[in-house]
Amino acid sequence: MAGGEVRTSPELPLKLRLSLAIFSAVSNVSLRRNGTVNRRLMSLVDFKSSTNKKPIKGVTTSDTTVDSSRNIWFRAYRPREASSGENLPVIVYFHGGGFALLGANSKPYNDLCLRLSRKLPAIVVSVNYRLSPDHRYPSQYDDGFDALKFLDDNPPANADLTRCFIAGDSAGGNLAHHVTARAGEFEFRNLKILGLIPIQPFFGGEERTESETQLARAPVLSMKLTDWYWRAFLPEGSDRDHAAANVFGPKSSGISGVKFPKSLVFIGGFDPLKEWQKRYCEGLKRSGNEVKVVEYGNGIHGFYVFPELPESGLMVEEVREFMKERTGFGDQ
Ligand SMILES: *[C@@H]1O[C@H](CO)[C@@H](O)[C@H](O)[C@H]1NC(C)=O
Ligand SMILES: *[C@@H]1O[C@H](CO)[C@@H](O)[C@H](O)[C@H]1NC(C)=O
């Protein structure tokens, strides 16, 4: 490697490297230049998992329709503890995919939510929302918020909605933030949000940050790709300083005055988005909110869906500690 050149990726296991390369190549071709998605091609690498009534490592799953006309539904994960009658905290989870790809039944997310449900333990509710470019901003936020309202009226068995956390990764982390901000101005009957957990959230702006430039060709998420996602998601004619992307930027009114819970934000050292994520954390603090920032130096974008990476397990531990601190559950 030439002196001064920036590494764009840590050492990764070969198998993981291969699956990333295949996924990246297929999604690159599927996201067309004219802004549409070749869904048929994409489905070749987006493996889906069905629900399991028979427990897998103690966890059972089931799907519930929220609104069939918009194809909003969620997959609920019930760990062993819930089956034996214990009431558990709830994590409402929003999957990533640049607002344009994947679903709540995509295998990596099914596996991640199953792992979270079992290890925390918690009832995880993973929300399926509409995708861009067919549905642009604010469809995804509407869907996410409507799923919360539905949950409030229809709590899953053994779900203690007074101990609710909103989480999501990448575009789902962006969604988690905006849904939480909306929830702060709404009175739920039962549901109480005790924490927000954005995992490598997808934020951006017109400016090019140092990490975006240096890690422009990082695995999973290149700058060309993030530009494509924003173009497909934001309203036609708007730029990346739109408040949905640049939440504390020049065109945003921020969240001052909004009731907002404590946040636990995960950042990866090899994620081109890390500068935007740090600014996000600063913005939360400036607005008077508590934030715990966890940065993994070797974290690539999407590390959490690979249980073979040590950071993936560390993240689950952090989430467990955060939930414990916020709820006192686990104290006997
Ligand atoms: C985009 O390109 C695809 C494939 O070439 C084509 O089928 C589709 O109609 C185009 N859509 C628009 C909106 O231009
Ligand atoms: C796909 O790869 C080509 C060549 O590197 C690049 O020009 C294009 O912007 C990529 N598309 C997306 C959506 O990242």
How far does the centroid of ligand 2 lie from the alpha carbon of residue 224, in Å? 6
Return the SS3 of 288.
coil
Catalytic annotation on 271? yes
* DSSP annotation of 136: -
Ligand 1 site residues (CB inside 6 A) read 32, 34, 36
pLDDT digits 0-9 by tens, 147-159:
999 999 999 999 9
pLDDT for 5 equals 67
Token pair for 228: 């494509």
How far does the centroid of ligand 2 lie from the alpha carbon of residue 209, in Å? 20
What phi, psi does 2 have (nearest 5°)?
-65, 145
Ligand 2 site residues (CB inside 6 A) read 28, 31, 222, 224-225, 228
* Nearest atom within ligand 2 for CA of residue 31: 13
pLDDT digits 0-9 by tens, 211-270:
999 998 887 899 999 999 999 999 999 999 999 999 999 999 889 889 999 999 999 999
Identify the residue with better confidence: 331 or 270: 270
Q: Which residues have C-beta within 8 Å of that of residue 32, sequence separation ≥ 6?
A: 38
Which residue in the list 46, 152, 301, 312 is annotated as catalytic? 301
Q: Look at phi and psi of residue 105 and say left if phi exceeds 0, alpha if psi is from -120 to 50, else beta.
A: alpha
pLDDT for 330 equals 46
